[in-house]
Chains A and B, each alone.
Chain A
Amino acid sequence: MKAALLGTLVAGGLAALDATPVAQTLASQPLVTATVLGMLWGDWSTALAVGTVLQILAASTLPIGARTPEDYSVGGVVGAGVALSIASGAPFEHVRQAASLAGVMAGMVAATLGVPLVRWQRRQNEGLARWCENALRAGREGALAEAQGAGVALAFALGLAVTAVWLWLAHLGAAKVEEESLRLAGAWHLLQPLWLGFGFAQLLHAFVQRRLERAGVFAAALVGAWLVIVAGAP
């Protein structure tokens, strides 16, 4: 468990890097990080249940221009990490479902609270940029690499620190979640499909863009796939 906790912390830092400072390959998306954490903790179903819901919500959150969107990179790691740490060792399915609900809620709250943190980080980088320009003009050629390195280190440290705080909160609240697991599992049964439907609609709105023919394509795909899935089943 110690290795899994450590891995989750590192994943939080790495996700914060991929989100903006390094590469932006979408390796930090909740479904990807949840899958990695699922392997790490040895619990696929809990990790993917949380990762799928957070992913569908993250997909409609876009980093356009100077806007600071909800931080689903660290939020995704927090969500899966919280759920997996609560569910680890739980023998009953309803406890794992309760943990999934706690994980999704924690992931969304972490993503929302991540906005002011990312803004703070970007304000620190302003000072870094001014220092870098002055250092270059003063003849220090390595200033660019140093400033870039500092930006990367700050992002990694913040991602790791936020994940650590949430895992500590999960440790404190795990007993309460287990105690209330029947109620929470009941809520999960309805909230999971509701969130999925909500996320599908957000994506659909982005794709359709008020064009009737695209709405028709969606409807045809839905009906066709339904017929194939249901009629094709043994």
Chain B
Amino acid sequence: MSDNHTTGRVDRATLFAMGLRANLLQAAWNFERQQGLGWAFALAPALKRLYPDREQRLERLAEHTAYFNTQPTMASIALGAAARVEEDRSAGVGGDAASMARLKSALGSTLAALGDRLFWFSLRPFAAAVGVLLAMARPSQAWGAIALWLVYAIPHLALRFGGVRWGYASGPAVLSGAFRERLEAAVRWLAVLGCVVLGVALAWALAPGGEPRPIAVQCALAVGLGAGLLTAQRARPSPTRWALAFGLLGLILAWRNHS
């Protein structure tokens, strides 16, 4: 391996290329290394700039294909921070492979804990609730799908591209207290807004356009709501399996009533 250190810096175009490549973070997701391959692929533009020596660059790339996993949107922040550390490393002032692995592990688990709550447990269900409400209220238009996509994709893509720059600017200290507090506040507000949207959606489902639906339909909604609240207390069977069971039961009842 060459010992050719450079004092190159990661520029804005490189950070943008990393953000773009972060869209393929999970292209080859697997149980063994999870996002490892995508991580190396996204970090490659920075490594190309920092390590002009081909052998050294390939060594670093191979090193970065090791295990990595976090919430995929938040991974951009870790990518930026890792690029900053690689910058120091290429200048001969950073740590070694083991310290990079420790950094990736620490950033990955912390960002996963924050990102899972924000994106998977809050924003995704919130976007779905907004989409379903609009789809029920405007069934002949595409507003439900558009709203669902925009509500999720705008913050997701903004963080995917902006997160790389953010992580690079702050380095490993990116997960400061203020950042966490802002994310926690966003989670709380999304939960409250989600409750409001669901309340409105349920009211609309009971009386779309002000016209109350037949009592049998209202009862079916209430039974579904009650069953959902009961089954949500346990993770298994999954909601889909319950819904399939209800479907089969409904089909059996329909056949018996018509025969």
Contacts and interface: CB of A to CB of B under 8 A. Distances in A.
Nearest to A206: B125
Interface string A140-154: 010011011111100
A104 B196 CA distance: 27
A52 B202 contact: no
Nearest to A134: B62
Interface string A97-116: 00001001100110110000
B239 A61 contact: yes
Contacts of A197: 202, 205, 220-228
A196 B221 contact: yes
A151 B35 CA distance: 12
A218 B62 contact: no
A148 B24 contact: yes
B169 interface: no
Per DSSP, are chain A's interface residues mostly helix, strand or loop, or mixed?
helix
Interface stretch (B10-18, B91-99, B139-147): B139-147
Interface stretch (A1-9, A161-169, A222-230): A222-230
B30 A200 contact: no
A129 B211 CA distance: 57
Contacts of B40: 144
Contacts of B85: none
B153 interface: yes
Interface centre among B26, B191, B253, B257 (most CB of A within 10 A): B26
A207 B130 CA distance: 13
Interface string A197-228: 11111111111110000110111111111100
Interface-central residue, B32, B132, B222, B244, by most chain A CB under 10 Å: B132
Nearest to A33: B145
A112 B124 contact: no
Nearest to B216: A190
Contacts of B201: 200
Interface of A: 20-27, 29, 31-32, 34-36, 39, 44-45, 48, 51-52, 55-66, 70, 101, 104-105, 108-109, 111-112, 122-126, 128-130, 132-133, 136-137, 139, 141, 144-145, 147-152, 155, 182-184, 186-187, 189-209, 214-215, 217-226, 229-234
8 contacts: A66-B69, A147-B28, A152-B27, A183-B255, A194-B223, A201-B232, A206-B194, A214-B191
